[in-house]
Homo-oligomer: A and B are copies of this chain.
Amino acid sequence: METILRSPAREVRIGPARPFVVIGERINPTNCARLAVEMAAGDFSRVRAEAIAQVQAGARVLDVNAGIPLADEPAILAEAIRVIQEAVDVPLCIDSSVVKALEAGLAAYRGKPLVNSVTGESDRLESVLPLVKRHGAAVIGVANDEGGISEDPQVRFAVAQKIARAEAFGIPREDVLIDPLAMPIGAIASAGVSLFALVRRLREELGVNTVCGASNVSFGLPDRVMLNGAFLTMAIGAGMTCAITNPLEESLRKLILAADVMMGHDENCASWLAAQRPAGDGAREERLARRERRRAQQGV
């Protein structure tokens, strides 16, 4: 089953027989105070620069979040989407827990985006899914509900089943991605094994594509990049099809490409071989990115 996302001129397919899709995580003011201040003040130069840098580094979809306390999130999210769609031609993942913001983002977006996210809570399903349907979008369903996040993979699977009933709202099964939720492994030693089993089961029993944020698993531990890399690689082995992560993290990027090779998803190892070449192929993108970074620094 393949999820198809679209920007004005590009199509990205997410599926079990395709290379793993990296969804760039860096346009997110909830993790970056400087970005929050700038976006709230209407300065989107860093948003633009991050969009270009992430696409250049191999992100095939970009997550866009505008969660800034006391700010007008719907307006800022819509503007960020307009700015990003001017700068890069990749599908976006519209990220908010505020329905009004999702609404504004969807209205501003050109193409078929991914909505991040809906939970299994009934009121969320009923407020978000009609919106997703109306805009012909795809949606990430997060495997928690009124009962919170369960440590029991059975419960999380049941929540995923509930979300997959989005079909009742007219959304085809291939447009529902499930986030099985990676718990911090420093606190819950079974977090990895139960996630890998869930990914496999979601694929085999529900046929859905799976996605997750790749860094929560290493929360509180040292050398998080290596832990996230092992986690993602093993999740790909279990059948995970995409993740929201940092494409600028070189070793993570390499490991994901290597995992694609191991899955037989990199024909003639073409992407692996291309990734060995020193920059230069990406010289134009690099120049553009540098210019954007300069602009961002100068506040142009």
**Total interface residues in chain A, CB < 8 Å:** 36
Interface digits, A264-285 against B, CB 8 Å rule (1 contact, 0 not)? Answer: 1001010011001000000000
Q: Knowing A192-B264, A193-B263 touch, does A186 contact B233 (C-beta < 8 A)?
A: no
Decide if B221 touches A234 in the complex (CB within 8 Å).
no
Contacts of A251 in B (CB 8 A): 226, 251
Q: Which residues from chain A sit less than 8 Å from chain B, CB to CB?
A: 185-186, 189-193, 196, 217, 221-223, 226-227, 229-231, 233-234, 236-238, 251, 254-255, 258-259, 261-264, 267, 269, 272-273, 276
Decide if A262 touches B276 in the complex (CB within 8 Å).
no
Decide if A192 touches B234 in the complex (CB within 8 Å).
no
Q: Which of B221, B258, B273 contacts A229 (CB 8 A)?
A: B258
Decide if B189 touches A267 in the complex (CB within 8 Å).
yes
Q: Knowing A237-B196, A255-B230 touch, does A262 contact B185 (C-beta < 8 A)?
A: yes
Decide if B254 touches A234 in the complex (CB within 8 Å).
no
19 pairs from A and B in contact (CB 8 Å cutoff): A190-B264, A192-B262, A193-B262, A193-B263, A196-B237, A221-B269, A223-B272, A223-B276, A226-B255, A227-B272, A229-B258, A230-B259, A231-B258, A231-B262, A233-B255, A234-B234, A234-B236, A234-B262, A237-B238
